[in-house]
Amino acid sequence: MEYQKYLQAKAPWDVVIPFIKQVRDGFPRKKIPTRLLRDFHRLISLIQSVSILRHARRVTDGRGRLVASIDDYTTVYELVNSMYIDTVSGVTPSVTRIVDTVAELKKVDPEGKIGYSTLERELGIHRQQITRDVRKAVSRGWLIDHETKDRSPRNLVLGEPIPSDQGLPTPESVRHAVTRVTNREDEEEEGFGSL
């Protein structure tokens, strides 16, 4: 409570995030979901909030603004990345479990027909959840349904591999991108990077 009063007494805080472009550029090149673009300002606010909480260990720039560090982004990444995984890639633990189960069943019986009832027996999950996850996996191309009739049992096979858990750009990738930009700017200042 006292710390909150202290922070409020020092307000307003002005925090600059020098690596925010590298965070934005670290998202997948494919179409970025609208929700993620809409929530990007919240991600910025979280990074700024962590910087404010750690203000005693942060530097200020020439204009007196607190400069966020990649360590601040790392904290935010650890707190919220799992929420962004589904938004960016559509990968959820339940969809992964469905796709993995289809893969295992196909290893045992490559010619076997796999439908909702098979998955229900294998996983012990309610049919509605299986239907929802299978539809998502089929729409993303991770499963293929060879059955064309609506009311017939499904005939599921593996499609494209599920992407890795890509949510927010990793702190390591952001750090690497910042280092590349810094090195390029240093070379240009020394006359190596310009004609």
CB atoms within 10 A of CB 12: 5
- State residue 67's pLDDT score: 95
What's the confidence (pLDDT) of residue 155?
A: 87
In single-letter form, the type of residue at position 173 comes to S
142, 161 Cβ separation under 8 angstroms: yes
Q: How far apart are CA 68 and CA 168, in angstroms?
A: 17
For 92, counting Cβ atoms within 10 Å of its Cβ (0-12 exposed, 13-18 middle, 19+ buried), the class is middle
Give the model's pLDDT for residue 186: 52
- Looking at residue 195, what is its pLDDT? 36
Q: What is the pLDDT of residue 184?
A: 60
- In the chain, the domains with their CATH numbers are 2-88 (no CATH), 93-158 (1.10.10)
Report, as ranges of residue numbers, the positions in the chain whose pLDDT lies below 70.
28-33, 35, 87-89, 164-166, 181-195
**What distance in Å separates the CA atoms of residue 27 and residue 112, rounded to the nearest whole number?**
38
In this prediction, residue 26 carries a pLDDT of 84
CA pair distance 7, 2, nearest whole angstrom? 9
Dist CA 49 CA 66 (whole Å): 11
Give the model's pLDDT for residue 194: 35
Instruction: Check residue 191 and give its pLDDT.
Output: 44
Strand-pair category, 156-158 with 143-145 = antiparallel
What angle separates helix 70-89 from helix 34-53, to the nearest 10 degrees? Answer: 160
